[in-house]
Structure 1
Amino acid sequence: MKRWLMRSMTELSSRKSISRLTGRLAQSSISRRFIPTFARMYSIQVQEAEKPIGEYSTLNEFFTRRLRPGARAIDEAPDSLVSPVDALITGAGVIQAGTIFNIKGQDYTIDELLNRSPRTASYVGGFCLVLYLSPTDYHRIHAPVGGAIVEREHVPGKVYPVNEFGLRHMKRVLSRNERLITYIRHAGGEVAVVKVGAMNVSSIKYVDPHAKATTKGEELAYFEFGSTVVLLTEDNSFTLRGDLMVGKKVRMGEALGTLRT
């Protein structure tokens, strides 16, 4: 009964109108007074921020903050795939015949996740990493590889939560939520960076929606409040780092494994 009630409440609160209302509040000047409380509540490492906490004019500006130079090291190995975000790994595994198995007890198809893109065929035997950003985390999304940006797609959808409850008890939220998908062609193939919106996220925004290329570690986009990135590699092109697993935290720029070159 409790789980049913939670699901019903989540369904009602996943309306874009409610998400927009939350977004407007976070972008208002009155939200500035909540920044210190927000930072303490989520144990945010304010010393890593680009500016002193008192210089942010809204909660949204603080939430989408950049980091000070040198706060993250980008792995420089030419064959490395780096984490695009600070996040918790909530899913990792080989894609089997186009299906991602057991993401918090649920299966997803590449076809639905990539909105039936013709590019799906390249990923049916690839690798998938699901990276969850909590309110504690830095919320800018960076390029996991350097290369040409060959396509972008915006997929409209819901804004269900992508936390533990949402992934486990809501129906396939990663493929039902709003998504921005960026395909990057690198020296050994292609990767798809799927940015998944979440409850109370007013938007996902590109830093430069017209960029034709990117370098490893360069900013791609940012979330206005927490969400998830699904990182996909092509068939037989990626080897996961041996000590990584579901439940492990990673930081932006950290090597996740190696790519075929």
Structure 2
Amino acid sequence: MKKQIFKSFVELTSHPVSSAMLKQFTTSRISKPLIRPFASFYDIQLHEAEYPVYSYKSLNDFFTRSLQPGSRTADSDPAAVVSPVDGVLSCAGPVSEQQKFIVKEQAYSLTELFGDSASAQPYENGYYYLFYLSPRHYHHFHYPVSGRLLKRYALGTASYPVNDLGIKYKEELFSSNYRIISEIDSSFGRVAVVKVGALNVNSIRILDSSKDCVKGEDFGHFAFGSTVILFFENKKALLPVNLSFTEVRTGDKIGEWQF
């Protein structure tokens, strides 16, 4: 019961009215007494948080916390591609023609995810990684590679839960969810960081409008729920590390550019 209650606070519900109420509650000072029970239940490492736990004004304030400097460092190897988030690397592999991405037994096309065929085309023969963030994870996202931001755009108007219930009852989950796509021009081709928000609230926050992308640098966070999918245009230049179905942390090496 406690797990379902806590999950509803950060993933919200399938109904816009109840989602709005939960958002209002978790972002208000009334929710502050729930911070310690939430942290204890999910075994969150409080020593990593930027501030002492009593400093956070609401449950959402704590959920979107930054970390102490040095808590996450990107692999220093210039050839390393790193995880953009703390989370579970659910799946990874080459993107083939007409591929459907299987997310908890549901299939989604590349075009549905990117919004149109022209935007999806660069990644049709590339490589992808899919990360799921649970309530216990640090919810900021960082650049997986260095380069220059080509474009950043938002798609979708409503969101649905990135969990079994949401996927079961809502077809084309990712094509409907509010999401922000950041495309980076790297030394080895185009890289897309697709941030998918959870449920009824547009909950993705971008830090600034800088065009400079530095591997390992924080550039935003999720306020509620989250999934991140990385797409690489040039799979021939990428040698992936086999980490599927494992926990990864921001900055961990997940692949390597082949010079």
Q: In structure 2, what is the equivalent of residue 115 of structure 1?
A: 115
Alpha-carbon distance between aligned partners in 2 of 1:89 and 1:163, rounded to the nearest angstrom: 15
1:74-85 → structure 2 map (5 Å cutoff): 74-85=74-85
Give the aligned residue type for 2:248: V
Alpha-carbon distance between aligned partners in 2 of 1:48 and 1:200, rounded to the nearest angstrom: 30
Q: So what's the TM-score if we normalise by structure 1?
A: 0.87
Kept after mapping to 2: 8 A contact 1:132/1:228 = yes
Identify if the C-alpha distance between structure 1 residues 98 and 78 changes in structure 2 by more than 3 Å, giving closer, same or farther.
farther
Q: In structure 1, what is the equivalent of residue 256 of structure 2?
A: 258
Quote how far apart the aligned CAs of 1:89 are: 1.6
Identify if the C-alpha distance between structure 1 residues 167 and 251 changes in structure 2 by more than 3 Å, giving closer, same or farther.
farther
Unaligned 5+ residue runs, structure 2?
A: 1-11
Give the aligned residue type for 1:229: V
Unaligned 5+ residue runs, structure 1?
A: 1-11
Q: In structure 2, what is the equivalent of residue 37 of structure 1?
A: 37
Kept after mapping to 2: 8 A contact 1:159/1:200 = yes
Computed over aligned residues only, the root mean square deviation of the Cα atoms, in angstroms, reads: 2.0
Matched, 1:228 2:227: yes
Alpha-carbon distance between aligned partners in 2 of 1:202 and 1:19, rounded to the nearest angstrom: 11
Q: So what's the TM-score if we normalise by structure 2?
A: 0.88
Alpha-carbon distance between aligned partners in 2 of 1:21 and 1:188, rounded to the nearest angstrom: 45
Q: In structure 1, what is the equivalent of residue 68 of structure 2?
A: 68
Kept after mapping to 2: 8 A contact 1:157/1:177 = yes
Q: Which moved more, 1:13-22 or 1:121-130?
A: 13-22
Q: In structure 2, what is the equivalent of residue 7 of structure 1?
A: none
1:239-250 → structure 2 map (5 Å cutoff): 239-242=239-242, 244-245=243-244, 247-250=245-248
1:146-185 → structure 2 map (5 Å cutoff): 146-167=146-167, 170-185=170-185
Give the aligned residue type for 2:159: V
Alpha-carbon distance between aligned partners in 2 of 1:87 and 1:250, rounded to the nearest angstrom: 6
Moved over 6 A (4+): none
Identify if the C-alpha distance between structure 1 residues 158 and 201 changes in structure 2 by more than 3 Å, giving closer, same or farther.
closer
Question: Could you give the per-residue CA deviations for residues 153-176 of structure 1, whole angstroms, max 9, x where no partner exists?
Answer: 111233211124434664231222
Q: In structure 2, what is the equivalent of residue 188 of structure 1?
A: 188
Tell me the SS of whatever aligns to 2:61.
helix
Q: In structure 2, what is the equivalent of residue 219 of structure 1?
A: 218
Question: Could you give the per-residue CA deviations for residues 60-82 of structure 1, whole angstroms, max 9, x where no partner exists?
Answer: 11111011111112111112111
Quote how far apart the aligned CAs of 1:18 are: 3.5
Alpha-carbon distance between aligned partners in 2 of 1:97 and 1:119, rounded to the nearest angstrom: 15
Tell me the SS of whatever aligns to 2:37.
helix
Give the aligned residue type for 1:257: G
Kept after mapping to 2: 8 A contact 1:94/1:100 = no
Quote how far apart the aligned CAs of 1:202 are: 5.2
